Structure 1
Amino acid sequence: MNNIQIFDIELKNYRQYRGIEEIDLATTPDKHINVIEGQNGSGKSNLLNAITLCFYDKEPHIDNQDNQGLGADPLVNLKELRQIDVGEAVRGYIEITLGKQEPQYVFTRKFRTAKVDEDEYSSVTDDLQLRQRFGPDWQNVDNPNIRLREILPTHVHQYFLFDGEQLDQFFEEGYTERVQDAVLDVSHIQLLERAVDHLKSVQKDLEKEASDVEGTPQDLHDEYEEAQETLEELEEEEKILEGNISDANEEIEGIDEELSDSTNPDVREKQQRRRYLNERLEDRKEELQNAREDAAVALARAGPVAYNKDALEFTLDRFREWETSGQEPPDIPEWWLEQLLEKGRCICGTDIETEQEKRRHLEEFKQTVAETATQSANGKRKVERALERADDMVDVAKERKGRVEDIRDDIDEINEELREISAELESKNIPDDVDVADLEKQRKRIDARIKDMREELGQLRGKIEQQSEEVEERRNKWKREVEKEKKHDQLLRKIRFVENARGKVESIETKILEQVRDETETSLEQYFNDLIWKDEHYDIELTEDYEVRVYGPSGEKKLGSLSAGERQVLALSFMSGLSKISGFSAPVVIDTPLGRISSKPKRRIAQNVPNYLENSQVTFLMTDEEYTSEVKAFLQNDVAHEYHLEYTDEVTKVTTE
C-alpha cells in the first residue's frame, strides 16, 4: 500500500463506545477494503465522527439515529456519566495510527465531560497531540496540525471522509457552487491566490512611492486610489450579497426538506412536482437564452434582404436589360486576348510588337474587360443568390422567433403551475404534521427576497464593471504623467515587473483550474460508469460554469430526472474523483455508501467496488441492508477486515462476527 492508511483506531468512552474499543484497519494492496457493518443507531456514523473529531475537532456527521434521538449527546458514554456525581467528570480519547507500509504517526485527541446537573453535561476537547516514529523510537511532535495538513488538510478532508446518504443532496438546487468550491479546494491554488494578493500589495506600495511627491502625479494617484477603494467597496458588497443569497437558498432547501418529510402524500407529491418544475424552469431559461441568440443571428441575416427586396429585384431587371441590349461589358475571354499579345499581332492585323503604344492599349483593354466582366457577373450572381435565399432566410427567422415565443409560453406555464402549487400548499392545514401553510408562507417571503437580491446583484455587477473601467482609465492617466519624469524610471520598471509577474501567476491559476476541472470530469465519468448498474455508457460533462451534464444513449439526462440511487452514485463518483486528483494519499472512509440504492443495483456496484480507488485504503461503514449476502460475496476477496457493531443497552461493542 503506497498511500497513507489507517492502521488502527482506538476509542475510550466515546459516545456509544464504553471503555476501550480498538479497531484494526491495516490493509494490503491485494486487500484494500474494510467493512464495518451495523444497524442504524449502533454508532456507525460516530466512527466517522471519531476520525474528524480527532483530526479537526469537529463532528460534521451527527445523526439522530446514531445518537438515539438525543441530538448532540455528550462526548463521553452516558452509562459512564450516570455513575458519577454532579461536579465530577469522565475522560476519554480517540487515537488514530497512520502510516504507509508501517505505522508512522499516532494522532490523539483527549476529551472530558463534566456532570453539571442530573441531566445536564458539558464536554470539552484538548488540543491535538502527535507521536511520530523516527527509526525505532517514537517522539512527541510539536505543532501536530502542521503535520496533519501535509497528510489531509481540513479543506479537503470531506473528499476522503464523507457520508453517503448526505451525497444524495449534493446535486440539489445550487449544486454548481458546491462543485466549484470542491474543485477550488483540490486545485491547491491557495498559494497562488496568496501570491497574487502579495503582488497586488507590492504594486500598490510601488505606485504610491512613485507618486510620493507634490504636483500632478500625486493628485492623479489620489484619484486613482480613490477609484480603487470604491471598486473594493463594491466588490465587498458583491461578496456579502452573494453570501446572503446563498444563505436564503439554504433556508429554502431546509423548508423544502421539511415539506418533503410531511406525512401527507399530497404535500409530498406537490413538493416533488415543484422540485421537477424548478429544474425544468432553469433548463428552459437557458434554452430561451440560446434561442434568442439564434433568432438574433437569423434576423440579422434576413433583415437586409427582406427590407431591400424591391431594390434587389430592380437591380436584377437592369442586369437583364443590359444583357438584352448588349450594354453589358463584352464577354471576351481573357485567354483569347492573351493569345493576341503572345502572337504580337492584333485582330485587325496591326503588328503590336513594333507598335508599343498599341500593345499597351491592348493590355489595358484586357485588364479592364476582365475586371468589369467579372464584377458584373459576380454582382449579378450575388443579387440572384440573395433573392433566391430571401424567402428561406425570412422563414428561418420566423421559425426561430416562434421558438423563442414557444419557450416563453412554456416558462409562463411552469411559473403559473409553481404559483398554483405554492397557493395550494399555503392553504394546507394538516393536524399533527409539519405546518405546511406557515412553511409555504416563509418560502414565498424568502423566494421574493432572493429575487430582489439577484436583481440588486445584477445592478451591482454592472457598477463593478463600470468602476473597473474607471480605475483602469485613472491608472493609465497617472502612469502617463509619471513616465514623463525620468527619475521614476527604476520604479516604473519595478512596477512593470510586478504587473507581469502577477499576470503570469493569474494565468497559471487559470490553467490549473481548467486542468483540475478536466481531470475531475474524466474521473467523474470513469467512476460513474464503473459503479452504475446499467449496461450502457454515460458521457459526463463538467462545464466551465461547473454544471454537471449526464448524457445517456437517448441524450441528456437532467439531474432532476435521475433516481436517488443514480444521484448518490454520481455524487460518490464526484467525491472519489476529487480524492484521486487532490494529490493527497489519504485513506477513504464512507458512511452508508449504498443507502439509497435498491437491491439489484447494489450487486452491480459491489462487482465494481474492488477496483474502486484501488490504490487507496477504503473503509465502508454499512448497514445490514447494504451489506447483503450478495454484496458480501462480491467483496470478500478484497476485504482485509470485517467488523460488526453490536449495540445493547446504550453501549456498542465491535466484534468480528
Structure 2
Amino acid sequence: MILTKLTLHNFGIYAGRHEIDITPKPDRPIILIGALNGSGKTTLLEGIQFALFGKFAKFLSKNKSAYLDFLTNSVNRRNLQDSASVSVSFITKRRGRQQQFEVVRTWSLKTHGASADTVQVFKNGELDLELSERWPELSETFFPSQLSDLFFFDGERIESLAQPARCSELIRTGLNSLLGLDLVTDLSKTLQTLDRRLKVEGVSEEHKEKILRLNEKVSVLTDQQQNLDHEMSEILARLGDLQSHLETLRAQLKQQGGDLYEQRDLLVQRQSELLSLVASKRSELTELASSNLPLTLLEGMVKQLEALARNGLTLDQKEVVQDALSSFSSSVIGELSGRSEFTESQVEFLRKIHSTLMEIQKDDDSRPEINFSKESIFRARTEGTHNRSIALKQLLELGKFQTELDQIDRQLLAVPDAVKLEPLFIEIKSTEDDIRSHETKRDGLQDQIERVKRDLESSTKQFNTASDEVRKNEADEKQLIKMHEQLVRGREVLANFEEKIRNKHIANLEKLIREGFEILLRKKSFVSSISICPDTFMLTIKIVGEGAVPASKLSAGERQLLAVAVLWALAQASGRKLPTVIDTPLGRLDSSHRKSFVQNYFPYAGEQVILLSTDEEIVGSYHRSLKKHTSHQYLIEYDDKKQSSEIVKGYFEYSKEAA
C-alpha cells in the first residue's frame, strides 16, 4: 500500500483546500515535510489516520466524546464554514493487479444533534457503494487498524517505549494483533462461559436458581478481574511514562547545574571548614618559622660554625648568620617559585616568613642572641631537623586543603541561580507527586486484584461443587460430562495452539529485533542474541563479553534504539508493505543517536516513509544525508493574513541548513 495524495479542506489550521503529492519515487522512499511547532504538522498525521480509520483511529482512544470533540474542533471557521473533509488516495495490488483507491471523509457541524462523518470510497476513479458502506470492515483488508501504532507514531512514543514495561506491552499487543491471538483468547473465554452455562442447563428447575446465582457471581467476578487487569495495565503504562519523564527532567536539571545547586549548602559548609583548616595550618607554620627551623636551610654554614666552636675560635657569628640567612632565604624563594610542585600560595607563605626575618634583622633590640657553643649548636640542629619534618607534613596538608578549597570555590561559582531552576524543580516535584500517587493506586489496585482473584477462585469452586453435586442424580449426567470434557479439551487445544504459534513467531521476532538493534547501534558484534520472555514479553539482551542484560539496564539512548528496533521488527513481521509516518522523528532522541536514525533507519523503514520534522531536527548534515533518499520536500508555513497554514514545495532555507 502506497499513499499517493493527501487532501485537506477546512481541516484544523488549514483554511480552504490543500493538496500534496506524496507518491514516492523508486529507491527514494522519504517524503520530508518541515514545519515549525504549532503550524499544522501533527494535524497532517491525524488527517491521514482519520481519513483511513475514522472514529477507530488510535489517537481518538476509542472514546466517543473524543471523537465528537475532534469533529467539532477540526472544522476551520476562518471563512465561516461549518464543514470539513480529509481524503487519502493510495495504490495497492488486489488479485495481482495494481488498483487505485481514494477515501474521502466529510463532516459538518450540526446545530442540533451529534455530528458524524460520512465516508465515500472511490475505486479507480469511480464511486464504489459497497466499499463506502462497508469501509469500517473492509478497510482492515487494506490497513488493519490494530497495526496502525506500528506505522504511525511520533518522537514522544519512542521515548515512552524506551520504558521496558511499555516496550513489553507493545510486543504483547503487537504479537496478538499480528497473529490474531485476541480471537483465540476470546474463543477460549467463550468456551469457558459455555461450560458454565452447560452446568446450569444440565440441572432441574428445582436446583437451577442456586446454580444460576453462583454462575452470575462467577461472571461478575470474571468481568471485574478483566477490568482491574486492564486498569492495572494502564496505571503501569502511565507510571512508565512518568518515570521516563522524570528521568528526562533530572537529566535537564543536571545539564543546567542542578546537582551543584542541590549540593550548595554542603559545599558552603565544606568551604568554611577548609578556610579554618588553611588558617590553622598557616598559623602552625608561622610558629615553626619563628623557631630554629630556618637554620635547617643553612646546613653547610652550621657545620662551619661547629668547626669554629670545636677550634675555640670567636667571631661576630651573629652578623654572619644573619647576612647568610637573608641571602639564602631569598635564593630559596627564587628557586621554589619556579618549581611546579609548589603552589603559589605556598611560595607566598615563604615570602612572608622571609619578610618577617628581615624585619627582625632591622630591629637590633629584637635580635636574638645566638649562643654558638657546641651544646647549643647540637641542640639547634636536632630540634631544627625535627621541626623540618613537621613543617613538610604541614605544608603538604596545607597544599591539599588549598587545592580542595580552590575546587569548591570554582564549583560555587558554577552554581546556577535558583530562579532559573525553579520551573524545573516545580515540574520535578509535580512528577514525583504523580508517581507516588500512581504507585499508591497501583498498590491499592493490586490488593483489589488479589481479593477478586480469591473470590473468583472460591466462587468457581462453589459453582463447580454445587453443579456437580446436583448433577449426580440427573438423568443426562453422562451426556453432560461428555460435553464438559469436550469443552475442556477444546480450551486445552486452543491454549496449546496459542503457545506454539506465539513461541514460533517470538523466535522470528527476536531475530528481527536483534538485526534492527545492531543496525541502529552500528555494532554488528555487540549483541549475540535478544530473547523475549513468553510470559511477560520482557526483553533480555545478551551482550558479547558481558552475558545476559535486561533491557532496563541499558542506557536511556540504547533503550530508545531498542524501542525503534521493536517497532521496526513488528512492522516487518506483519508481512505488510504499509506506509510509515513519523511526527517529530528526532525530537526525543539523544543527540548521539540521531545520526544513526538518519543514516540507518529512515531510508530503510519501508517503501514509503513520511517524516514530519521541526526546524530543530532534520536540518544541516542530517538533511543533506537524506536528500538522496527523498522524493518530495514540503514546508508548512503559517500565513498571518489568511490565518491559515499553507503547504508549499521546498524546505527550511536559512543558517541552520549550513550547520
Report the Cα offset of residue 96 of structure 1: 0.4
Tell me which moved more, 205-214 or 92-101: 205-214
Q: 2:102 aligns with which of 106, 111, 126?
A: 106
Match for residue 501 of structure 1? 490
Q: Give the conservation status (yes or no) of the 8 Å contact 2:48–2:88.
A: yes
Letter in 1 for 2:223: E
In the TM superposition, 1:280-291 aligns within 5 A as none
Matched residue, 1:160: 151
1:190 counterpart (161, 164, 182): 182
Cα separation, 2, equivalents of 1:516 and 1:462: 34
- Unaligned ranges ≥5, structure 2: 61-69, 260-418, 652-659
* Bigger share in helix: 2
Cα shift readout 1:17-54 (whole Å, capped 9, x = no counterpart): 33222122223553333222333333222211111222
| Partners of 2:155 and 2:589 within 8 A in 1 | no
Report if the CA contact (8 A) 1:564-1:596 is conserved.
no
Distance 2:127 2:179 in 1: 34
State the shift of 1:504 in Å: 2.0
**CA distance in structure 2 between the aligned counterparts of 1:551 and 1:161, rounded to whole angstroms:** 30
Structure 2 CA distance, aligned partners of 1:164 and 1:264?
Answer: 18
Aligned pairs (5 A) from 1:410-429 = none
Where 1:57 maps in the other structure, the secondary structure is: helix
SS at match of 1:513: helix
Out of 612, 622, 634, the position equivalent to 1:621 is 612
Separation in structure 1 between the aligned mates of residue 126 and residue 74 of structure 2, nearest angstrom: 32
1:103-157 CA-partner distances (Å, limit 9, x unpaired): 532111123458x9xxxxx9986424132426x7443331221111222233321
Distance 1:265 1:496 in 2: 63
The answer on whether the counterparts of 1:128 and 1:144 sit within 8 Å (CA) in structure 2 is no
**Counterpart mapping for 1:199-278 below 5 A:** 199-212=191-204, 227-246=214-233, 248-249=235-236, 257=245, 261=249, 265=253
Q: Secondary structure at the match of 2:636?
A: strand
Corresponding position: 1:49 with 2:46: yes
Could you report, residue by residue, the CA deviation over 1:453-491 in whole angstroms, capped at 9, with x for unpaired residues? 324433543454455555555565566655xx4x66555
Shift of 1:516: 3.5
Aligned CA RMSD, in angstroms, stands at 4.2
Alignment coverage as a number of residue pairs: 467
Residue 31 (structure 1) aligned with residue 28 (structure 2): yes
Structure number with larger C-alpha Rg: 2
Give me the whole-angstrom Cα distance separating, in 1, the residues matched to 2:587 and 2:422: 31
Q: Which whole-Å CA distance do the structure 1 matches of 2:4 and 2:539 have between them?
A: 36
Residue aligned with 1:574, SS: helix
Shift of 1:266: 7.2
Partner of 2:598: 606
| One of 167, 172, 191 as aligned partner of 1:180 | 172
Contact preservation (8 Å) 1:7, 1:103: no
Query: What secondary structure, in the 3-state scheme, does the structure 1 residue paired with 2:82 have?
Result: strand
Match status 1:129 vs 2:123 = no
State the SS of the aligned residue for 2:610.
strand
Q: Deviations over 1:580-626 (max 9, x none)?
A: 22354432212223333455543333333376344x43222233443
Distance 2:442 2:198 in 1: 42
Q: How far, CA to CA, are the matches of 1:648 and 1:489 in structure 2? A: 79
Q: 2:138 maps to what in 1?
A: 147
Given that 1:167 and 1:571 are in contact with CA atoms closer than 8 Å, whether structure 2 keeps it comes out as: yes
Residue of structure 2 in register with 1:75 after alignment: 74
Matched, 1:40 2:37: yes
Q: CA deviation at 1:206?
A: 4.1
Residues 260, 268 of structure 1: 8 Å contact kept: no
Q: What is residue 11 of structure 1 aligned with on the other side?
A: 8
Give the AA of the match of 1:111.
W
Alignment of 1:339-350 (within 5 A): none
Report sequence identity in percent: 20
Q: Which residue identity does 1:519 align to in structure 2?
A: N
Query: TM-score, normalization: structure 1?
Result: 0.60
Structure 1 gaps of 5+ residues are 63-70, 117-121, 272-427
Are the counterparts in 1 of residues 9 and 84 from structure 2 also a CA contact under 8 Å? yes
CA distance in 2, matches of 1:589, 1:454: 37
Give 1:325's aligned residue.
none
Distance in 2, matches of 1:267 and 1:227, equals 61
Instruction: Kindly provide the CA deviation profile for residues 429-476 of structure 1, in whole angstroms up to 9, marking residues without a partner as x.
Output: 996673766765565454334324324433543454455555555565
How far apart, in 1, do the equivalents of 2:617 and 2:234 lie? 34
**Distance between the aligned counterparts of 1:204 and 1:648, measured in 2?**
65
Describe how 1:356-371 pairs up with structure 2 within 5 A.
none
Question: Contact between 2:165 and 2:240, CA under 8 Å: does it hold in 1?
Answer: no
Deviations 1:528-579 (A, max 9, x none): 2222244543232211211122333353455445444433222222122222
Contact 1:151/1:585 (<8 A) preserved: no
- Contact 1:92–1:111 (CA under 8 A) maintained in structure 2: yes
Deviation, 1:100, is 1.6
Match for residue 92 of structure 1 among 77, 84, 89: 84
Give the 3 Å change call, closer, same or farther, for CA 205–253 of structure 1 in structure 2. Answer: closer
Shift, 1:90, TM fit: 3.5
Change (3 A) 1:515 1:99: same
User: Structure 1 residues 442, 227: CA separation in 2 closer, same or farther (over 3 Å shift)?
Assistant: same
**Secondary structure of the equivalent of 2:530?**
strand
Match of 1:546 in 2: 537
Please name the residue that 1:519 is paired with.
Answer: 508
Residues 270, 510 of structure 1: alpha-carbon distance in 2 compared, 3 angstrom cutoff: farther
Distance 1:536 1:260 in 2: 30
Change (3 A) 1:72 1:30: same
Write the distance in 2 (CA, Å) between the matches of 1:568 and 1:123. Answer: 45
Correspondence 1:532 to 2:521 = yes
Q: Distance in 1 between matches of 2:461 and 2:480?
A: 24
Q: Which residue of structure 1 aligns with residue 317 of structure 2?
A: none
Residue 18 of structure 2 is matched in structure 1 by 21
Aligned-partner residue type, residue 653 of structure 1 = I
Give the Cα–Cα distance (whole angstroms) in 2 for the partners of residues 640 and 526 of structure 1: 27
Q: Secondary structure at the match of 2:229?
A: helix
Deviation at 1:250, TM superposition (A): 5.8
Q: Retained in 2: the 8 A contact 1:27–1:617?
A: yes
Moved more, 122-131 or 154-163: 122-131
Bigger mean CA offset, 512-521 vs 586-595: 512-521
CA offsets per residue over residues 204-227 of structure 1, 9 Å max, x none?
Answer: 45444433476xxx5xx7766655
Query: Which among 566, 569, 576 is matched to residue 574 of structure 1?
Result: 566
Q: 1:654 to 1:512 in 2, by over 3 A?
A: farther
CA contact (8 A) 2:8 2:18 kept: yes
1:652 to 638, 643, 646: 646
Q: Find the residue that maps to 1:237 and give its secondary structure.
A: helix
Counterparts of residues 480-499 of structure 1 (less than 5 Å) = 485=475, 492-499=481-488
In structure 2, the residue corresponding to 1:531 is in which secondary structure?
Answer: helix
**Structure 1: distance between partners of 2:2 and 2:490:** 40
For the residues of structure 1 that align with 2:6 and 2:636, how far apart are their CA atoms? Answer: 14
Aligned counterparts of 1:558 and 1:194: Cα–Cα separation in 2: 32
Counterparts of 1:430 and 1:508 in 2: how far apart (Å)? 56
Task: Provide, for residues 40-73 of structure 1, a one-character-per-residue CA deviation record: whole Å limited to 9, x for no partner.
Answer: 33322221111122233367669xxxxxxxx999
Partner Cα separation in structure 2 for residue 181 and residue 501 of structure 1: 24
